[in-house]
Structure 1
């Protein structure tokens, strides 16, 4: 069975309803009547079945901007033809092109100092470079600009990677061969990933939880179901886990304790190493953002000049990675590690209007902010300049009035099953009923925090 289209959704941002609609023909002969009804709750709201058949929300994550303009200009100046198949949005391809043109100037990749890395007339002659000074300088500047663009692409690619980790963990790292090993597992991974990828809403009532009744139904087709005591008394019988369930694939997006318990020791260790390395990488990344800004740590309210989008994406990635790291420690019986090394969460920056909304509704500042402010910063712990232990985290939680276990600071965060709710059409977090109106509002910067481009009906 070809699951390529379903697999492609792991790297996209398709609505869960559209993924459910893709699952119907794949699973229709395998579902019970009740399971089919549950899946149709979501599939009936797909774009294909809707009145509008359109959404103003992008169906992909924002990709890094490619270097096609810079590469073509550099190739033109060097009288070179870009290699066929060169992908301008892939840093490795752009770097390969730079390695091809750099020797033509007698320079190495990364050596771009205008004062020390250019060749003078004698050095150019000795290197066999027959170019006048003005032309050589022009080519040098072109290559330098392209290398700067390459560094920008690498930074954007890194940020895009962290944005995906913040949403769905490691789902995008799954190969097609692993994903397609078992249909039921693939169905759960695809649908749950789409649920995880949903956008945040502008609200103080809390965000939608990813694990809804449709995800639970798909998961139980893999894990089996143990009915409650009452259900057993009424005649319900337990169903065993599926023999073909692909727990390795499921653990990439849903590393719940019951999933991790079904992995081999080698698989658990591999995931622990991956999440630990990612924590270390994110700690350095967060440190860089923190040092370039002046965030108000005690309130985490964004102010003018703060790079909130980059910070919040990195913070979300850190928290997702940290949760999964803690899950694995408990699965491996290694929670003793937390006694000496217990990294805290990283708080996102919050817009001042949302904070004001909370206060107007009689709510104070999120108590997690107090815990975050009391603990050492994650990169300080990694660098060894500070320590953060389980006792410190527990003490900070108690002072803030939080249960350190139930709040997810010291243990895997518990979750339940929420009812399915259709994906709202959002414009910068604000729900808009009509997707065509949403497209117009987005085009005119409404709800974006930027100066609005007023609507002019007589022109539009």
Structure 2
């Protein structure tokens, strides 16, 4: 039986957001010579696959929300402008190609690209006539405003694409950049990479505790199978999704340098975006609790990507024998913003401010350290960590992640804005009704099941169940 379609499906899953159960089912079709114990471990996850029919549907979208390309604006440009050419959907998703189109539109109406000052940049009737534009004032104004809006749309698209890329890195490191040749070189590595990436890409549960770790007993078993017959390409593929020190040490010199260069470039881009976002915001660095008007989605995507990239960079620094670099250039983590209700939940559960937040607030801004504007050494980070009761190595402030411990496999829950719901159909109903969205809630359909809300001692919602006896 040709296994290439299954291998291709696993490779394609790196660009999407499938449930780990569905990936485990694919792995079970591809993996050969499984022992009875290995089959049992994999089957425990695969039995929850949608293909098996035990759970016939899911309310969770199986892809990330991708930036919306300006296809409508590109079509409208063809109607309005003589020089505009039709762009394909793929070209509309390419920021540089759309920018070329917008510049052509600006040139057609003699508008300075990038300037949106209608009063100063707009041509007078005499100027329009001198430039060969035989159009009415009303039509010219319409074209001018269209180009201004299109320019702003393109810049928003560019930022949304950077944010999208950052979110993917925050979740699964460089999994989306793995080459097919490296992925397909080792069937065992491919199985691990696809399953572990799916575990990394799971949505976060609304909780006052830490999230379930992605490295579970299924991932450990798949990694162990690869270790029996490792190969260079397999190590490189795994290092893209799990850049721990005990992984990247197995790369050869050229692969280490290449991956180090990739992580350095990613950090440079993230540093610029973090600095720009910080300058435009009013975040409280001492608490990192969200306030009204804060762009938490952008900040948290960038912060998560920075922390993942920093770990990969730090692992490569040590693997390359450049630990002295980390002694002098020890930029810290970036803390995510926390919702006020989650912060209150932490306090109700007896917790206080996360100690890592205190360390982050006391250290120089990481983007300033990376750019060389300020200095931050390993000794400084160690001193600040110890002052706040944080172990700098155990919390990965000064040393890369290594030696992960596997957690037991847990089925992927159905979530509505992070809240666990017992059944996918109920989850779909609650999402459509606006539950847990922070917006006005609509009544549930008449055929909706009765609902029982399980709360903790502080009154925070833990799980929503379908219940025939009660309706909340």
**2:176 is aligned with 1:188:** no
Partner residue, 2:214: 210
Q: Which moved more, 1:180-189 or 1:125-134?
A: 125-134
Closer, same or farther: CA 456–213 of 1 in aligned 2, 3 Å: closer
**CA deviation after TM superposition for structure 1 residue 421, in Å:** 0.9
Q: Deviations over 1:140-186 (max 9, x none)?
A: 21122111111111111110000000001111112333322222221
- 2:306 pairs with 1:303: no
Alpha-carbon offset, residue 297 of structure 1: 1.4
CA contact (8 A) 2:14 2:194 kept: yes
Aligned residues: 442
Tell me the secondary structure at the aligned position of residue 37 of structure 2: helix
Which residue does the alignment assign to 1:85? Answer: 88
Return the alpha-carbon distance in structure 1 between the equivalents of residues 9 and 22 of structure 2: 12
Find the partner of 2:56 among 53, 66, 77: 53
Which SS does the other structure have where 1:330 is aligned?
Answer: helix
RMSD: 2.1
Alpha-carbon distance between aligned partners in 2 of 1:145 and 1:263, rounded to the nearest angstrom: 48
Counterpart in 2 of 1:11?
A: 15
CA 1:159–1:103 in structure 2 vs 1: closer, same or farther (change >3 Å)? same
Residue 246 of structure 1 aligns to a residue whose secondary structure is helix
Select the residue among 339, 364, 370 that pairs with 2:327. 339
5+ residue gaps, structure 2, are 449-472
Pick the aligned partner of 1:63 from 50, 63, 66.
66
1:286 to 250, 253, 274: 274
Change (3 A) 1:456 1:406: closer
Please give the per-residue CA displacement for 1:425-444, whole angstroms capped at 9, x wherever unaligned: 11111110111111121122
Query: Using the alignment, how far apart are the partners of 1:205 and 1:174 within structure 2?
Result: 32
Q: How far, CA to CA, are the matches of 2:447 and 2:84 in structure 1?
A: 44
Name 2:426's counterpart in structure 1.
437
Separation in structure 2 between the aligned mates of residue 243 and residue 90 of structure 1, nearest angstrom: 35
- Whether the 8 Å CA contact 2:331–2:370 is kept in 1: the answer is no
Displacement of 1:69 in angstroms is 2.2
SS at match of 1:180: helix
Say which of 27, 34, 38 aligns to 1:35. 38
Q: Which residue of 1 aligns with 2:340?
A: 352
Q: 2: distance between equivalents of 1:175 and 1:383?
A: 30
Offset of residue 22 of structure 1: 1.3
Deviation (angstroms), 1:243: 4.3
1:417 maps to what in 2? 406
**Pairing 1:50-449 to 2, within 5 Å after superposition:** 50-78=53-81, 82-83=85-86, 85-87=88-90, 88-107=92-111, 109-224=113-228, 241-243=229-231, 246-414=234-402, 415-448=404-437
Q: Secondary structure at the match of 2:162?
A: helix
Greater CA drift, 65-74 or 190-199 = 65-74
Superposed displacement of residue 242, structure 1: 2.9
Structure 1 position 290, deviation (Å): 1.6
Structure 1 residue runs of 5 or longer lacking an equivalent are 225-240
Cα distance in 2 for partners of 1:271, 1:244 equals 14
* Shift, 1:86, TM fit: 4.3
Kept in 2: contact 1:425–1:433 (CA 8 A)? yes
Segment drifting more, 426-435 vs 103-112? 103-112
> Normalization by structure 1: what TM-score?
0.90
**Matched position secondary structure for 2:397:** coil
Contact 2:175 2:240 in 1 (8 A): yes
Distance 2:39 2:416 in 1: 32
Out of 106-115 and 69-78, give the one that drifted further: 106-115
